[in-house]
Structure 1
């Protein structure tokens, strides 16, 4: 397959404005007639929501830590299919990635530099111009020469104070031979409210998110040379695109052979260090990198956003949505509280969506569908379980922001608790774990997990090399998986029986986390389904088994 040319948007440090530039470029290039594929480096659940609004197609992630380096190029080819340019937003600073003192690779694992090198794509460096003058030349010289495998193609100056300031900075760039592709003025109206985990997601920020994306698009279109950016794009990625059905066929073969399901079996239990020293604040801050890893949130629920991001995606790429069985109610994909149609006869997997459950990866729905599931989206804020539900996915999100409304939906809480007791497979990550506890910040939850939850004093953040401690519908005891934590809540007096995971902290102590009551797997750990297709196949198989022995909801 011929690779779609790409540009990588990076920066010297977080907070430089990469998200403003990347989202604005996606929107401006699309407005100019380009079919743009949006990507984000790392396990980010928020930026791709804004990318998706700008591009009119789902934002996707490129994360070699969670999916394995061998899957990055196939996932890129899959996500950029039928596009003529890709915009890849980096994570933190250009060379920042997973902190691992034992890593001997030229660049940090999971860094923007690693992804740029794998794609063979040029890097555009976004520099926060505040406080910079002639010395910017020295900074740029360092970034341009630090790693010969990375091609720095140009600079975008952000938050420029005046015409004179811009002239000085352009001269500094010229001194080291780097073209300036644009200069953005400081504009307070581009600020988007944030909270403890970074920016408020597009799906929650509603019509204001659409307005912000429009403003970013206007800003970039007015101040950045789009033709020069498009001419710079390149990629040497080649091979076969990632294919969910092929992954499931391989996973089925692994299960039939009796081998362990994880591609990471040889890994030791790793460290729990965060991949950066980022501490998001709750203040309104310029839209950009206000958290190190915070996407891939799905972007659609009719009651969360006026003209929803899902509407935009549906209008722009209906074929992509038809290829996937997931969708929100207005797209007609297995409506909540309705009997599934005749398009498939596999088990119904209910996936929580809406404003409280927005963390997820586009590949999750594709793998579930490839494994034979009918995927039904529902909103726990006010919906019931879809009719015929045989398996439940409760992804991450911000339930602490909606605890009272979640608690008010007593019939759903009761149904979830009842189905869990009856052995229905449940996969709950982070927000899903909180929903299954007895209470969240004093509000009654489902009571499936023997613990209470509350908003905590500090952010927990970082990659984890985890080993499964208890058999579940997804993993077998002893399987090793890479995941990611990203939360500021904590469990109070959690039960110690049947923990989900263990990993080793830098201090040497073993951390045990999560819970596996009955057929429920609940944990703070986020995993990437593309890196764990066997777990997805196991889950759908368990749901099918449950459907044959129970009458459903």
Structure 2
């Protein structure tokens, strides 16, 4: 198994994201091929991992992917790496509805991977080790091999913590050197929007000076994945039989790499384009992911791509959209007192609200006959948005949610003709990907 380490935290805000990314940077700087991963459905932290490591960061989410899916993605992405570094989510044991499911600990057990625990030591000494002991004993099947103490103070503070260590200390990050190491919230900006001095890579020197990287590498070699899970052969691409255009720019950039790989597995050639800058490419279907159309709405409104997409939709081209893509396909968006026209394909208007409207995992089934995707397809995913859809009274929805909110009243997948959009960021199943690709093939053969 590829040497693997999981960087976990006692809680959100303990410095896990910055320290994880800076460790990736320090290992990459040493010439190692570092394969990054992120536990959970997050789209933003992986962009920083990808930029730092030069390898696409993958999500590992047992709820959306299942345990076999976690293993499949891990094996596929790590096959030629020197070391895999996995950034956890929230606190180590924080899972779905107070359970272990989907937690960083769950992923650690699936992969048999050792854990380095990040502890915010500010304002404590001996008590920091009591916390480590509690995390260690809470679930003994989880292997916490070492600790990095963040926001440590003077040498005296460090010595007081050292007097009662419960696990090997692998790092002491001094808060005087860089207060931002306390808790960098990277959720506001993607990697391409972040200034070099704001990037986690800017903290590489601090990590090199204050952590035992050699020991971290040694611990990573102790990964011992269980082998009794049946894993599929991964994302083996088929011969290209259709072309799918994928919107990718500063307005649309929330994509799971596994989803794109899944489309390629069933025969799609992926063609990236910018709805703000480009014409619609010569493709047989379109896929719009999430992102920030509201921040870019004036440019999206002025782009001729908007009217081209509407013409393709009227012609019956298969179009699938998620969250930000859903907003773009609606008639308009009202954002902080400003209003812009969008594509006008789906019978709805978008309004930005003052607080988030939905946050959490989604489970759904396609139930509507006549929708662009076959009835009976199951979907798992995630939703997080501040906007609200104002839909026409006769709007049609393809998805019935058993978990999550969707567009309204547990319904998602607003559709018109061969276009469908929802708030759910779906993790594509084989059946979903195959159906979407087949729709594109049928359109190309008309």
Aligned to 1:235: 223
What secondary structure, in the 3-state scheme, does the structure 2 residue paired with 1:244 have?
Answer: coil
**Is 1:123–1:154's contact at 8 Å kept on the other side of the alignment?**
yes
Q: 1:40 aligns with which of 38, 41, 45?
A: 38
Q: 1:184 aligns with which of 163, 173, 196?
A: 173
- 1:451/1:495 contact within 8 Å kept: no
Displacement, 1:240?
5.5
TM-score under structure 1 normalisation?
A: 0.74
1:134 aligns with 2:126: yes
2:298 maps to 404
Equivalent residue number for residue 440 of structure 2: 543
In the alignment, which residue of structure 1 is the partner of 2:113?
121
Contact persistence 1:192–1:200 (CA under 8 A): no
The superposition leaves residues 294-333 of structure 1 with CA deviations (integer Å, 9 ceiling, x where unpaired) of xxxxxxxxxxxxxxxxxxxxxxxxxxxxxxxxxxxxxxxx
* Residue 494 to residue 84, structure 1, CA distance change in 2 (3 Å): farther
**1:506 offset after TM fit, Å?**
9.1
Counterpart position of 2:306: 413
- Shift, 1:544, TM fit: 1.4
Name the structure with the higher strand share.
2
Deviation, structure 1 residue 416:
0.8
Distance 1:113 1:191, change over 3 A: closer
Q: Structure 2, unaligned stretches of length 5 or more?
A: none
* Stretch of structure 1 that moved more, 140-149 or 230-239: 230-239
Assess, with a 3 A threshold, how the Cα gap between structure 1 residues 473 and 48 changes in structure 2: closer, same or farther: farther
Q: Following the alignment from structure 1 to structure 2, what is the Cα–Cα distance between the partners of residues 87 and 168? A: 30
Residue 518 of structure 1: aligned partner? 417
Alpha-carbon deviations, 1:390-444, whole Å to 9, x = none? 10000011111111111111x1111111111111001100110000011112111
Alpha carbons of 1:29 and 1:473: their partners in 2 closer, same or farther (altered >3 Å)?
farther
Is 2:40 the counterpart of 1:145?
Answer: no
- The superposition leaves residues 500-521 of structure 1 with CA deviations (integer Å, 9 ceiling, x where unpaired) of 32224699x9512230111112
- Runs (4 or more) in structure 1 with deviation over 3 Å come to 188-195, 238-242, 471-475, 493-496, 504-507
Match for 1:165 among 149, 157, 167? Answer: 157
Q: Quick one: structure 1 residues 213 and 356, their matched pair in 2 at CA, closer, same or farther if it must change by over 3 Å?
A: same
How many aligned positions are there? 433
Equivalent residue in structure 1 for 2:188, among 192, 199, 218: 199
> Could you say which residue in structure 1 is the equivalent of 2:350?
453
- Pair 1:192–1:472, CA change in 2 (3 A): farther
**Whole-angstrom CA distance in 2 between matches of 1:473 and 1:495:** 18
| Residues 115 and 381 (structure 1), Cα distance of their counterparts in 2 relative to 1, 3 Å cut | same
Query: In 1, Cα distance between the equivalents of 2:385 and 2:57?
Result: 22
Aligned to 1:327: none
2:172 alignment partner, SS class: strand
In 1: Cα distance, 2:371 partner to 2:20 partner? 38
Partner of residue 204, structure 2: 217
Instruction: Give the Cα separation in 1 of the matches to 2:324 and 2:196.
Output: 22
Identify which of 10, 17, 41 aligns with 1:12.
10
Report the Cα distance in structure 1 between the residues aligned to 2:47 and 2:370, rounded to whole angstroms. 31
Deviations 1:185-242 (Å, cap 9, x if unpaired)?
A: 22146699869xx23111233xx15862431222211211100100111322347674
Does 2:329 align with 1:436? yes
**Are positions 1:377 and 2:269 aligned together?**
no
Q: 1:488 aligns with which of 377, 380, 386?
A: 386
In the alignment, what sits opposite 2:375? Answer: 477
Residue pairs, 1:28-427, within 5 angstroms: 28-99=26-97, 108-172=100-164, 174=165, 176=166, 178-186=167-175, 187-188=178-179, 198-205=187-194, 208-209=195-196, 212-233=199-220, 234-237=222-225, 238=227, 242-245=233-236, 346-386=241-281, 388-409=282-303, 411-427=304-320
SS in 1 for 2:72: helix
TM-score (norm 2): 0.91
| Kept after mapping to 2: 8 A contact 1:190/1:212 | no
Alignment check: 8 A CA contact 1:50 1:209 kept: no
CA distance in 1, matches of 2:184, 2:70: 32
Q: Is the 8 A contact 1:349 1:389 kept in 2?
A: yes
Are the equivalent residues in 2 in contact too, given 1:10–1:94 (CA < 8 A)?
Answer: yes
Cα distance in 1 between the residues matched to 2:269 and 2:404:
42
CA distance in 2, matches of 1:462, 1:396: 15
Distance 2:392 2:196 in 1: 37
CA RMSD between the two structures? 2.3
SS of match in other structure, 1:470? coil
Structure 1 pair 144–16 and aligned structure 2 pair: CA distance change class (3 A): same
CA contact (8 A) 1:472 1:519 kept: no
1: CA distance between counterparts of 2:3 and 2:396? Answer: 48
Do 1:193 and 1:199's aligned partners in 2 also have CA atoms closer than 8 Å? no
Higher relative contact order (CA 8 A, sep 6+): 1
SS in 1 for 2:97: coil
CA distance in 2, matches of 1:356, 1:166: 45
Q: Deviations over 1:524-545 (max 9, x none)?
A: 001112xx12211111111111
Asked if 1 retains the 8 angstrom alpha-carbon contact of 2:379 and 2:427, the reply is no
Contact 2:404 2:410 in 1 (8 A): no
